[in-house]
A and B are shown apart, each in its own frame.
Chain A
Amino acid sequence: MAWPAVPSPASPGRPRLSRLLVLALGATFVLALREAEVDPRLLLQPEARANVARFVAGALPPRLDADFIAFLARPVAETIQISVMGMVLALAIGLPLGMLATSSLTWRGILHEQAGGPVRRLLALLPWGLARGTLSVFRSIPEYVWAFMFVRAVGLGPFPGVLALGVAYGGMLGKVYSEILEGVDPQPLEALHAGGAGRSGVVLYGLLPQALPHLVSYTLYRWECAIRASAIMGFVGAGGLGQQIELSMRMFQFDEVLTLLAVLLLLVATVELVSGYIRARVVG
């Protein structure tokens, strides 16, 4: 049977992970396994079993008396409050730094075609680089390390938690904000610019309206993470549920630990639900 020749497109040789890379990854992993002292037998030895039994026996039933539940209201409220104020601070840090770190706003692209000589353009690079560097430092140091340092600097309580969340999440928000702003469709901006709009006009009428749903959606997502983080930061003395979990764990009050974990689960689930609902409406 005659079969019409089909032109075959040259199948592009996709870059495959070289053997060397796989080998290096494998070797690193084996070394890491040794370094991490992974030993599943530890989980099965009698002592571990006894500890698990002690934990389970101590945790069941969870402590649900009215006193304890009423007492919990405060740390729960504190956890929410830390997360909210932390996000407010993070916005105050992330939004301006994020805009400075947006190359299309500061030195590159259509807004800067006519922006004077090379010296002026180089000068515009300075705040951009500073903003990016600051954001990088802010977000690369985990919020718990920040919290620990702020506890040292300003004392125990919710305030260091707010500061830590604000700094670490400000770094993350700023980075992602700048990515969102750089990804905005440039054509409407060009039109505004050509129509004589200044930089603030372009930002207010072209950039922000396009980016807003994404900015809001990401901020809400970060808030979900912040609730969890603010609960955890208590472990280093920055208030909230975490502090209580740590205390109960150290006192071997496992029935309290179980209740606290259940409350945390409930809190996180509620926030995820609320934020998910708003996000679906904002983006949809």
Chain B
Amino acid sequence: MARVATGAAPQPRWWPPLVTAGAVALVLWSWAGTGIDVRALLAGEALRHVAAYVARLFPPDLSPAALSDAARGAWETFAISLVGSALAVALAVPLGLGATRTLYRGPLAEARRPGPARMALGVALVGLVRVILAVCRTVPEIAWALVFVFVVGLGPFPGVLALGIHTGGVLGKLFAEVLEDVDPRPLEALQAAGAGRAGIVLYGILPQALPQLVSYALYRWEVNIRAAAVLGFVGAGGLGQRIHVAISLFHEQQLLTLILAVYVMVTLVDGLSAWLRARLA
């Protein structure tokens, strides 16, 4: 029996009300759980506390000693973020290649006609690398920093290691996505000409993916400059350590100087990274 399509109203989708209800419930539950007292907020008690604290921050301590201390901290934080990001890239390239599924299954791998044992090995390798990446990026950098401070002692080096491992996990996943996403046609051509996996990676995949990889690395550097400013809280040097000391010892005016230093440095690195990305694009 033929059915004639009429101008039927669009099928109502089942999920938007469900998601909305879930979101509202989540917010109410969170509200209750965090114990935020709206009346106290509106009465301004919390705001008064904040305002009083902010007032104590001014004026910033601009004495030469404070400024040079902030500058040293900023440079140390900058160094940690830069070296940590470089370590992350060094880890992310091999791990990202290991997690690139298109190299081990799908047309590119099947065209190599591997036996079932090799096929299974490839799948197992990808799985293993993906688990390593997940662990690296899910454990926050500050937890990594705690672990490495415990292993190698205080100083900027554990900060570098923490940033490198965590960001390596993040970048490895992003790199794998980029590498899986390249135009497959040139790869097919290389394979048809007899190129092996290394040849396909070097002449087909990496050249196509490079701008995107560099762009992601620079973006993560911007994230890392903020993270590096925090790692000092657990004894990994830099501005964070100085901020920690200033807050703990109630040196509020020095604290403002240090926060200004964070702001200036973050803004500078953001600008530098954006400029580099535009040039490399």
Q: Which residues of A contact B (CB under 8 A)?
A: 15, 17, 28-29, 31-33, 35-39, 42-43, 48, 51-52, 55, 77-78, 80-85, 88, 136-137, 140-142, 144-145, 148-150, 152-154, 157-159, 162-163, 228, 231-232, 235-236, 242, 245-246, 249, 261, 264-265, 268-269, 278, 281
Residues of chain A with a CB closer than 8 A to B30's CB:
80-85, 88
- Contact among B86, B234, B263 for A137, CB-based, below 8 A: B263
Our pick among A28, A144, A265 for the contact of B135 (Cβ within 8 Å) is A265
Number of A-B contacts (CB under 8 A): 159
The residues of A that contact B270 with a CB separation of less than 8 Å are: 140
- B105-113, B152-160, B175-183 - the one binding chain A: B152-160
A236/B233 in contact, CB under 8 A:
yes
CA distance A281 to B234 in the complex (A): 40
Assess the A269–B157 pair: CB atoms within 8 A: no
A144 adjacent to B34 (CB under 8 Å)? no
- Kindly identify which residue among B52, B140, B230, B279 contacts A145, using a CB–CB cutoff of 8 Å: B230
Residue B70 at the chain A interface, CB threshold 8 Å: no
- Given A35-B75, A55-B147, also A235-B156 (CB < 8 A): no
Which stretch of B77-85, B91-99, B195-203 is in the interface?
B77-85
CB-CB under 8 A from A77, the residues of chain B are 33
Closest 10 CB pairs of A and B: A35-B79, A32-B79, A81-B30, A84-B30, A81-B33, A153-B53, A158-B34, A142-B226, A265-B138, A42-B152
- State A37–B76 Cα separation when bound (angstroms): 10
Chain B residues with CB under 8 A of A84: 26-27, 29-30
**Distance (Å) between the CB of A24 and the closest chain B CB?**
11
User: Which B residues are CB-close (under 8 A) to A149?
Assistant: 53, 247, 255
Inter-chain contact A144/B35, CB cutoff 8 Å: no
| B107-157 with Cβ < 8 A to chain A | 134-135, 138-140, 142-143, 146-147, 150-153, 155-157
Please tell me if the beta carbons of A141 and B262 are within 8 angstroms of each other in the complex: yes
Report if B65 contacts A (CB, 8 A).
no
Min CB gap B187→A, angstroms: 24
Q: Report Cα–Cα, A41/B156, bound state, in Å.
A: 15
Which of these, A32, A269, A278, contacts B78 with CB under 8 Å?
A32
Q: Is the CB of B229 within 8 A of A51?
A: no
Give 11 pairs: A residue, B residue, CB < 8 Å, sorted on A. Answer: A15-B279, A39-B157, A55-B147, A84-B30, A88-B27, A145-B259, A152-B53, A153-B50, A158-B35, A242-B142, A265-B139
Once the chains bind, are A78 and B152 in contact (CB under 8 Å)? no
- B19: Cβ under 8 A from any A Cβ: yes
User: Which of these, A48, A51, A145, contacts B243 with CB under 8 Å?
Assistant: A145
Contacting residues, chain B, for A154 (C-beta < 8 A) = 46, 49-50
B36 within 8 A of A: yes
Query: A189 vs B200: C-alpha distance in the bound complex, in angstroms?
Result: 47
Residue in A33, A48, A159 whose CB lies within 8 Å of B35: A159
Decide: A36 and B157 in contact? CB cutoff 8 A. Answer: yes
A111 to B211 CA separation, bound complex (whole angstroms): 37
Give the total of B residues in contact with A, Cβ under 8 Å.
63
- Contact B247 A48, beta carbon cutoff 8 Å: no
* B19 close to A33 (CB less than 8 A): no
Taking the closest CB of chain A, its distance from the CB of B240, in whole angstroms, is 8
A50 to B230, CA, bound (A): 27
Q: How far is the CB of A231 from chain B (nearest CB, A)?
A: 7
Given contacts A141-B263, A235-B142, contact A32 B83 (CB under 8 A): yes
Q: Are A148 and B34 in contact (CB under 8 A)?
A: no
Query: Closest CB-CB distance, B10 to chain A, in whole Å?
Result: 15
Among A15, A31, A77, A232, the one with the most B-chain Cβ atoms within 10 Å of its Cβ is A232
- Beyond A157-B35, A236-B233, A264-B139, 12 additional contacts (C-beta under 8 Å) are A51-B151, A55-B151, A78-B34, A141-B266, A142-B227, A145-B259, A153-B54, A158-B34, A159-B35, A249-B143, A265-B134, A281-B15
Counting chain A CB atoms within 10 Å of each CB, which of B31, B151, B234, B255 scores highest? Answer: B151
CA distance A167 to B243 in the complex (A): 19
Are A38 and B262 neighbours in the complex by a CB distance under 8 Å? Answer: no
Within 8 Å of chain A (Cβ to Cβ): is B267?
A: yes
Q: A28 to B52, alpha carbons, bound, how many Å?
A: 41
- Chain B residues, Cβ within 8 Å of A32: 78-79, 82-83
Residues of B within 8 A of A52 (CB): 151
- Output the residue of A35, A228, A235, A261 with the most chain B CB within 10 A: A35
A37 with B156: in contact, given A28-B82, A235-B234, A261-B143 (CB under 8 Å)?
yes
